[in-house]
Amino acid sequence: MGHMHGFFLLLANPTLDKKSDTHTKLIEILEKTNFVIQEFILSPLQFGVPYSRPRYFCLAKRKPSCFQNHFLNNKLLQSPIPLFGHDDTIVANEHDQSQENWDKLLQSCEPVQKFLEFENHSNQSDTESGCLDTTHVSTEAFGDLEKNDKGNELVGSSLDQYFVPLSLIERWGSAMDIVYPDSKRCCCFTKSYYRYVKGTGSLLATVQPKKKGKSSPIDGAVS
Domain check: are 19 and 119 in the same one?
A: no
Beta bridge partners of 118: 137
CB of 83 within 8 A of CB of 73? no
Judge if 29 and 96 occupy the same domain.
Answer: yes
Same domain for 136 and 72, yes or no, is no
Q: Is residue 2 part of a domain?
A: no
Strand order in the sheet with 221-222: 163-164, 221-222, 202-205, 177-179
Instruction: Give the chain as a DSSP string.
Output: -TT--S-EEEEEES---TTSHHHHHHHHHHHHTTEEEEEEEE-GGGGT-S-B--EEEEEEEETT---SSGGGTT-EE--SGGGGT-TT----HHHHTSHHHHHHHHHHSPPGGGGS-B--S--PPPTTT-EEE---B-HHHH----B-TTSPBP-HHHHGGGEEPHHHHHHHGGGSEEE-TT-S--BPP-TTBTTBSTTS-EEEESEEESS-STTS----EE-
Total domains, the chain: 2
Is 194 a member of any domain? yes
- Asked which of 64, 86, 108 is the last residue of a domain, the reply is 108
Q: Which of 55, 75, 108 represents a domain boundary (last residue)?
A: 108
Verify cis geometry, omega within 30 degrees of 0, for the bond prior to 165. no
> What's the gap between Cα 7 and its chain centre?
30
The verdict on pTM exceeding 0.85 is no
- Same domain? For 18 and 39 the reply is yes
Is position 117 within any domain? yes
Q: Is 182 among the domain residues?
A: yes
Residue 96 lies in a domain: yes
Going residue by residue through the chain (223 aa), what tens digit of pLDDT does each one get?
545 555 788 888 877 777 788 888 999 999 999 999 999 999 898 888 999 888 999 999 999 888 888 888 988 888 888 777 654 444 444 445 566 776 777 788 899 989 887 554 444 344 333 344 444 443 344 344 444 444 544 445 566 778 888 888 888 888 899 999 899 989 888 888 878 888 888 998 877 666 665 545 455 555 5
How many Cα atoms are found within 13 Å in the side-chain-facing hemisphere of 9?
A: 22
Q: Residues 201, 206, 208, 214: what is their CA dihedral angle, to the nearest 10 degrees?
A: -50
Q: Which structural domain range is residue 204 located in?
A: 112-222
Q: Based on the domain organization, do 83 and 163 belong to the same domain? A: no
The answer to whether residues 218 and 125 belong to one domain is yes
| Residues 147 and 201 reside in one and the same domain | yes
Same domain, 97 and 127: no
Give the domain CATH number at 199.
3.90.120
Residue at a domain's end among 73, 108, 143? 108
